[in-house]
Amino acid sequence: MLLFASGALADDASDMARTANGFYTAYATFHPSDGIPDAKGRARYAPFISPALELLLTQGNEAEAKFAGANKGSPPLIEGDLFSSNFEGATSYRVGACKGDGKAGRCSIALTYDDSRDNPQDKPMSWSDTLFLVATPSGWRVDDIGYGGKWSFGNEGRMSDTIRGAIANASE
């Protein structure tokens, strides 16, 4: 029985990594990523995100539209990259170890932002974020991102909290 359980966990880790890679492949098509994606953008993420995250992104996008309508000329509620710790986003990624318990999981993601081609004096910046996944009837899906960057003015905490904060601010 132990061998079966170990095999199932190994399969889960492989499936989580496959979902994580798909998510970041979709993410790479947005560079630079800016704010909450609209319906067209969310469609690119749809095969990789949980229904709960899809709903939260939809609500966040609706809140952004409501805020923009009521505050002409104001900056958006969320500026810069929502899907990583870095405002400018990431130019490359590597999915690290994934682990879970069959219901929920996480993958460590090594991210790098490198604009040295445009700005040769700049050094690449690297950090790790955590991708949180949930098991759904359709397989593993991204449910949240834990920001791991350790610098001033970067995204902190969890992506879901950032979106919920924007939704709350739109209502004020």
Residue 8: the pLDDT is 52
The DSSP secondary-structure symbol of 38 reads: -
Q: Write down the pTM of the prediction.
A: 0.90
Q: State both tokens at 3.
A: 């061998």
Residue 30 reports pLDDT greater than 90: no
If you count DSSP H runs as helices and E runs as strands, how many of each does the chain have, helices first?
A: 4, 4
- Domains assigned to the chain: 2-171 (3.10.450)
CA distance 50 to 19: 11
Residue 31: the pLDDT is 74
Q: Which among 109, 82, 117, 95 is positioned nearest to 14, based on CA atoms?
A: 95
Beta-strand (E) ranges in the chain? Answer: 92-100, 104-113, 125-136, 139-146
CA distance 28 to 59: 23
Q: What is the pLDDT of residues 100-157, one digit of tens each?
A: 999 999 999 999 999 877 777 888 999 999 999 999 999 999 999 999 998 888 899 9
Kindly state the average pLDDT of the residues 79-96: 95
Specify whether the CB–CB gap between 84 and 159 falls below 8 A.
no
